[in-house]
Structure 1
Amino acid sequence: MKRRTFLASAVATTAVAGCLGDSDDDTAVETADTTADSASGGDYATNGEFPPNEDPRNGFPPEFEDVPEERSVDTDAFGTATQSGVDVPLVPVDVAHHWFRRREARFADARGAEQYDTSHVYGSVLSTAPDGVENDPVADWPKDDRVVLYCGCPHHLSGMRAAALIEAGYEEVYAIDEGFWEWHARNYAMAGNDLSATPRGRVIRGRASPESAGETAWARHEPTGQREAATIDADGGYRMTLRFVDVDRDSPIVVETPDYTVEAPLGRLARSTVTADLT
């Protein structure tokens, strides 16, 4: 199908919806109880006094003194999400945290660098969806090690990255079911430049051609490289929730599907059904 590209006009907006519920106040920001008390493992602050991150590329958590007892986990009982024809197991966040405290998994962040720098799972590496980053640390990990991916809302990007790793031969790969922001809300171990930042989710709904069903719709904030994605449904519809840092309703967002690309302020996109004819 012929691709069409449009630039939508900048229009002031009203309320937008999000992962944490709808709000009519665009200035309302959810605030976590975490604080950056110490720094270790590079220039990032942390939300606690943790052992240093001795090897920033290995994706392992630090060696905690207080290690929880081993427990039986039936991974076959996990739900799955299908990405590019690959069934990706979804690990509950409490199980992922149990593995984290016991150093039984390597962790990777499938979001963008801006989001990773703001806050991430302590010890995790950046491995952006769908194909990783240049000189990606994950490429050096043994393929029989357990790998846990995460993203923001809640597991689309991490599912994409996990599916790519499974296709590449990694044997035990998971995406955190509830996503990073549940990890953040539980005050699990984190590092970053602004651990108190909890950007509100903003929903974009759109419609592409039904011929694009099963393919990916993307939303990007190009100045910072932040992006989100969703699978296009059988009827051409798609829905994605953006939790971008330092982005407001006036920020320009590019939405791209296989048959069109549009750019408009986030608020304009959030109050409309995005189509090729958005003006």
Structure 2
Amino acid sequence: MKRRSFLSSAAGAVVLTAGYTSSARSSAAENYHDIINPDPSASNAGLASNPAEVDARNVEPSSFETYTATNEANTNLRMVPLDIARYWYHTQKARFIDTRTASQYQESHIAGAVFSPAPNGKENDPVANWDRNERVVAYCTCPHHLSGIRAGNLIEDGFTGAYILGPGMEPWVKKGYPTAGMQKNKTEFVDDYSNVNGNDENERQE
């Protein structure tokens, strides 16, 4: 069985955690509340460094598809469509975090995104200093296994607006949206789950 198929099946299953079933978990609607736009004057970490002008649009997050993360709490999350993520990016309405390994981040990442790997970030993680009500978009390439774990743990840690990029990073790159890194134009990605599988070969980026 392919790993992605397994992960998809596992995410949809009823899971017993801490004595209760998935039906007792908070819904996605309950997990998202009191969300504010990031404050660039406090920190520009995770924000577009050169935002482009885009047409204003009305965004209704309650219409987003939901996803049950595979973190310990099986947190229910909202998945941001690619076009909305791009809109939030260029209007600096969300901070972006890359949840993959350090080597993958160094090769290619969304321009301005910070490295904050699944499951719980890294030492001196910049996310720890952000306002927990600010809007955050986590992403990976698998397309949302790692980002789901990281965003889910942020929600459990008190963040009120931690979303995941629904289609993952690959469509972002193929659309020619802003990227950075040593191989910023690469369009083929290999999934790497080493940072959540207990064999931490993940090189910590400081």
Fold shared by both chains (TM-score > 0.5): yes
Cα deviation, 1:238-270, whole Å, max 9, x if unaligned, reads xxxxxxxxxxxxxxxxxxxxxxxxxxxxxxxxx
Query: Between Structure 1 and Structure 2, which shows a larger proportion of helix residues?
Result: 2
Q: Secondary structure at the match of 1:165?
A: helix
1:166 and 2:155 matched? yes
The corresponding residue for 1:58 is 45
- 1:199–1:218 Cα change, 3 Å: farther
Assess if the C-alpha contact under 8 Å between 2:79 and 2:166 holds in 1. Answer: yes
Residues 1:218 and 2:197 aligned together:
yes
Q: Identity of counterpart residues, as a percentage?
A: 37
Equivalent residue, structure 2, for 1:71: 57
| Cα gap change, 1:56 to 1:143, in 2 (>3 Å) | closer
For 1:101, the aligned partner's letter is H
Alignment match, 2:146: 157
Give, in angstroms, the shift of residue 57 of structure 1. 6.4
Q: 1:80 aligns with which of 60, 66, 74?
A: 66
The alpha carbon displacement at 1:197 in A equals 3.0
**Aligned with residue 119 of structure 1, among 84, 108, 115:** 108
Q: Report the equivalent of 2:135.
A: 146
For 2:110 and 2:198, the matched residues in 1 are separated by: 24
Structure 2 residue aligned with 1:192: 181
Q: What is the CA-CA distance between 1:56 and the residue it aligns to?
A: 8.4
**Alignment CA distance shift 1:62-1:196 (3 Å):** closer
Say how many residue pairs are matched: 161
CA change 1:186–1:203 in 2 (3 A) is same
What runs of 5+ residues in structure 2 fail to find an aligned partner? Answer: 5-40
Q: Give the direction of change, closer, same or farther, for the CA distance of 1:221–1:173 in structure 2 (3 Å limit).
A: closer
Deviation at residue 221 of structure 1 after TM alignment = 8.5
**Partner Cα distance (1:127, 1:60) in 2:** 14
Q: Post-superposition shift, 1:120? A: 0.3
Provide the C-alpha distance between the structure 1 equivalents of 2:123 and 2:44, rounded to a whole number of angstroms. Answer: 13
Shift of 1:219: 8.7
**Counterpart Cα distance in 1 of 2:137 and 2:104:** 18
Please, what TM-score do these two structures have when normalized by structure 2?
A: 0.70
Whole-Å separation in 1 of the counterparts to 2:59 and 2:185:
32
CA–CA distance in 1 between the matches of 2:120 and 2:197? 15
What is the correspondence of 1:97-108 to structure 2 with a 5 Å cutoff?
97-108=86-97
Summarize the Cα distance change of 1:200–1:142 in structure 2 as closer, same or farther, 3 Å threshold.
closer
Residue 7 of structure 2 corresponds to: none
CA distance in 1, matches of 2:158, 2:148: 15
CA distance change for structure 1 residues 145 and 197 in 2, over 3 Å: closer, same or farther?
same
Which piece of structure 1 moves more, 93-102 or 190-199?
190-199
Please identify the structure whose Cα radius of gyration is greater.
1
Separation in 2, partners of 1:152, 1:63: 23
Structure 2 Cα separation of the partners of residues 202 and 168 of structure 1: 26
Is this contact kept in 1: 2:141–2:191, CA < 8 A?
A: no
Of Structure 1 and Structure 2, which has the larger fraction of its residues in strand?
Answer: 1
> Alpha-carbon deviations, 1:140-162, whole Å to 9, x = none?
00011100000011001000000
Q: Please provide the CA RMSD for this pair.
A: 2.8
